[in-house]
Structure 1
Amino acid sequence: MVESPVNEVVMDHRVLNDWSNVNNTNGTMHWSKDMVFNDGHRLSITVYSILFVISTIGNSTVLYMLTKRRLRGPLRIDIMLMHLAIADLMVTFLLMPLEIVWAWTVQWRSTDLMCRLMSFFRVFGLYLSSFVMVCISLDRYYAILKPLQRSYNRGRIMLVCAWLGSVICSIPQAFLFHVEEHPMVKGYLQCVTFHSFVSEFHNWLYQIATMCAMYAFPLIVFIYCYGAIYLEIYRKSQRVLKDVVAERFRRSNDDVLSRAKKRTLKMTISIVIVFIICWTPYYIICMWYSLDKSSVDKVNSLVRKGLFIFACANSCMNPLVYGLYNIRGRMNNNNNVSVNNRHTSLSHRLDSSNQLLQKPLNGNGNVMAAAVAATTKLAHVVRLKTNGAAAADAQSAPQSGTAPHASELDHDDDDSISVVTVKCQEPISCQK
């Protein structure tokens, strides 16, 4: 068997509509390039092996972390992220090893049943990953825009629909793919879709339906949900800025969303952006192939294979995004703990001063003035430590009359601290 110049551009039999040509010259069979080990197979083995290791470590770690967190107190978003990690692991353990072994053997060296079964699971994980991200987007939409419409079963229903939808969308693969023998080369078997469609139009229609289910439908849901969320955040922030009565509470979008919700929203949006970046190039060339097949045939098939591999790399990116935000969350929590400890210490000092002032003083009024001055100085320190919005200026000790009744501080909701109150049990003149 000698490699032939026939179909030199073709690197993968799955981009063909029918069997490639072979030549029989003087009793020597010349196979086309897609029938022998080529650069496309080398690319698949190398890249899929790297992605397999990265995705296995990343998604397994994320699944372990989410499982531990769920035991302490399950959250709906954590459950959905667990399903996303499971979907990515299905891509890792079903699609990637299949691509590696298939590229190594070139031919299909198994049964027709295994061909249909693996073709089903080859896309099932991809569908499930897309549909779970749709569930996450809808969950954020209801959690932020419709918080009063709480439903304990809504998350479960969406996840069940995601799994059932993935099964339904993957079933056609089991009927389209089958094992065939090359008409001119006996013993050469391949898992193909050849002769499964009545016409080229049906093939085109199936490709469009696949693209809509796996990419276009999730993309529309992402745009609608997160567009509505940010539009509502913008409107509420504008109302806060225009409210003169609430001028002392003027802040950024943190007033509209809690810090936990804001961090979760950023993480889910990052996951969606990674999905769009990974899958858009592949589906652009698929649309190009559907509209102008002759011009796409001139493009090296390594490009198309590389874009599909890049799309599958989305399963490796999700745990990296989750890990990045989880590390940031832990760092912020540690910082908040240390800040709160400092605030607690200062609060104890202020309470001590407050208790001292609440005792009746019969001595010199200078002692009272010094105590008030020390308390107000501590109040200034507390205000600088909390980095709050606008804090009331500490009042200095008056030269005559009674002691000040109160010195109040305003703080963020997340960094709350006791209000400092300075009060005398009986009127005492404070003299210098």
Structure 2
Amino acid sequence: MVQHSYAVGMFPATLISLKVKPMNNQEHDEAVLHRLLFQINMEIADQTPKERELFSNSSSHFIGPPQRIAEDNIRLGLMIVLFLAGTPLNVTAMMRLRRSMLSSATPLKQLKQHLNISDLMILLIYTSSQIVWLITVDWRSNDLMCKLLKFSHALCFSVSSNVIVCIAIHRFSMVFGKSTKRVTTVSLWVAWTLAVATSLPQFAVWTVYRPYETATWQQCVSIWFVREYDIRTKNKTLLAEPLISSTAYSVYHVLIVFWIPAALLIICYLRLAMVVSKEIYCECECVKQSQSTPLTNGNMPSTDQHVTSSRRLLSRIISFSSSSSGRFEKALMRHQCVTMRRKRNAIRTCLLLIVAYIFCWLPYNAFFLWGLIDHDSYQQWHNTSIAFLRYLIVVNSVTNPFIYLPNFRSALCSSHAVQS
């Protein structure tokens, strides 16, 4: 019989290791075949149990429809929990952002709104389609819908990464005194345009496939899976061409979706932190100096102090100037404190968004690179690890509202208390 072990990732590639033991009635004698096939998918998790059904009994032309397994039930439960938790949170965040935009539409609020839209896209498009897929365990639509869905999945995650980069660029431009409104508008246009452009290849990569002409079921799979299945059923072993092309596309996608945005985030934030920390230090020194050397009578010029005829008038002027300068110094210090506090909050919010993004997105992408370097050791861990790693990316969309909206958690709890 044919045995298969799969390692799946959410996007854009899956590492699949096939260990094939030939059936007794096969004419040729095969050794155990190890290979690394990268399948392209912005959420390849769909295929774990389904493609197993296609590969099972690969020497037979009549394969039964896929059946749900225990792994499907676990994944379905996790997806439902994430969907039910994340969707209301992000809808509430969207309503708060819209109300806030009516009073003052700042560039930062515009960026938060786009991040909220990308999170809702992940939850409403990716997560909901995963739930439907795991319930039906096969594809029940046409080829166009297959391509559109995979394009939408790729678009969701690309937009999410690009908007995070736009937020870092916005903070960076504020520190250097650029026109933040213009920079924000241009960066968002570029973010969405790049996301659409880099997701378009999904239309060529994905297709609906039936294992045989009279089959009553079908799956939405990558073209590399179709080639693999045809090669296996025709008893061929020339797998180099699908391996090279699928690997190239996979590397391209992980670079576009995660590694390049992550590199830009780290560069922007390090530069931002250096500049802002220096400015805050300088402002603190100015405040200390102003506090230690207040404007008093002794500091005022006293060239006329020896003129007895104008001593009284001069003392009144000095008294008035001292009181005015004291009020001015206090106002200046308050303004400086507010400015420093805003800068610290801006840096902290930006840092939290970046840390949450990298924390949730890095594990799967690092796991993918591990498979490139040492796929043998990768195979020992993928079955138990990869599902949790890919769901971390959805968790990022659930937690983002708590980061970019101040007091969101307390407001949510208070509104819930009022309703109850």
TM-score normalized by the length of structure 1: 0.66
The one of 36, 55, 67 equivalent to 2:67 is 36
CA–CA distance in structure 2, aligned partners of residues 38 and 11 of structure 1: 16
Of stretches 89-98 and 306-315 in structure 1, the one that deviates more from structure 2 is: 306-315
The one of 221, 224, 234 equivalent to 2:264 is 221
Of stretches 43-52 and 76-85 in structure 1, the one that deviates more from structure 2 is: 43-52
Q: CA deviation at 1:165?
A: 0.8
Of stretches 203-212 and 233-242 in structure 1, the one that deviates more from structure 2 is: 233-242
CA–CA distance in structure 2, aligned partners of residues 71 and 46 of structure 1: 38
User: Residue type of the partner of 1:38?
Assistant: I
Change (3 A) 1:299 1:186: farther
The corresponding residue for 2:307 is none
The one of 179, 189, 192 equivalent to 2:221 is 192
8 A contact 1:115–1:179 mirrored in 2: yes
1:173 aligns with 2:202: yes
The corresponding residue for 1:361 is none
Q: What are the Cα deviations for residues 3-53 of structure 1, in whole angstroms up to 9, with x where unaligned?
A: x8832666899654496533399x997879xx4312331122111111111
The corresponding residue for 1:203 is 246
8 A contact 1:40–1:305 mirrored in 2: no
1:70 aligns with 2:113: no
- Calculate percent identity across the aligned residue pairs: 21
The corresponding residue for 2:235 is none
1:7 aligns with 2:4: yes
Question: Tell me, which stretches of 5 or more residues in structure 1 are unaligned?
Answer: 331-432
Change (3 A) 1:187 1:296: farther
Q: CA deviation at 1:246?
A: 4.0
- Look up the SS of the partner of 2:172 in the other structure: helix
User: Residue type of the partner of 1:312?
Assistant: V
User: Residue type of the partner of 2:345?
Assistant: R
The one of 360, 378, 390 equivalent to 1:278 is 360
Matches within 5 A, 1:308-347: 308-323=390-405, 325-326=407-408
8 A contact 1:182–1:189 mirrored in 2: yes
8 A contact 1:49–1:100 mirrored in 2: yes
Change (3 A) 1:9 1:290: closer
Change (3 A) 1:224 1:257: farther
User: Residue type of the partner of 1:22?
Assistant: S
Higher relative contact order (CA 8 A, sep 6+): 2
8 A contact 1:240–1:246 mirrored in 2: no
The one of 57, 69, 85 equivalent to 1:23 is 57
CA–CA distance in structure 1, aligned partners of residues 410 and 57 of structure 2: 61
Q: CA deviation at 1:270?
A: 0.9
Q: CA deviation at 1:260?
A: 3.2
CA–CA distance in structure 2, aligned partners of residues 240 and 137 of structure 1: 23
Q: Report the structure number with the largest CA radius of gyration.
A: 1
8 A contact 2:140–2:218 mirrored in 1: yes
Change (3 A) 1:58 1:150: same
The one of 156, 159, 179 equivalent to 1:150 is 179
8 A contact 2:2–2:57 mirrored in 1: no
Of stretches 290-299 and 304-313 in structure 1, the one that deviates more from structure 2 is: 290-299
The corresponding residue for 1:234 is 277
8 A contact 1:282–1:308 mirrored in 2: yes
The corresponding residue for 1:260 is 342
Of stretches 259-268 and 50-59 in structure 1, the one that deviates more from structure 2 is: 259-268
CA–CA distance in structure 2, aligned partners of residues 159 and 100 of structure 1: 30
Q: CA deviation at 1:69?
A: 0.8
Q: CA deviation at 1:240?
A: 4.8
8 A contact 1:181–1:188 mirrored in 2: yes
User: Residue type of the partner of 2:154?
Assistant: V
**Number of residue-to-residue matches in the alignment:** 322
8 A contact 2:401–2:408 mirrored in 1: no
1:161 aligns with 2:190: yes
The corresponding residue for 1:58 is 89
Relative to its length, the structure with more helix (as a share) is 2
The corresponding residue for 1:109 is 140
CA–CA distance in structure 1, aligned partners of residues 109 and 61 of structure 2: 61
CA–CA distance in structure 2, aligned partners of residues 288 and 10 of structure 1: 12
Q: CA deviation at 1:162?
A: 0.8
Q: CA deviation at 1:117?
A: 0.4
Change (3 A) 1:329 1:269: farther
Q: CA deviation at 1:62?
A: 1.0
8 A contact 2:273–2:347 mirrored in 1: no
CA–CA distance in structure 2, aligned partners of residues 11 and 185 of structure 1: 29
8 A contact 1:11–1:39 mirrored in 2: no
- Look up the SS of the partner of 1:89 in the other structure: helix
CA–CA distance in structure 1, aligned partners of residues 56 and 223 of structure 2: 17
8 A contact 2:353–2:400 mirrored in 1: yes
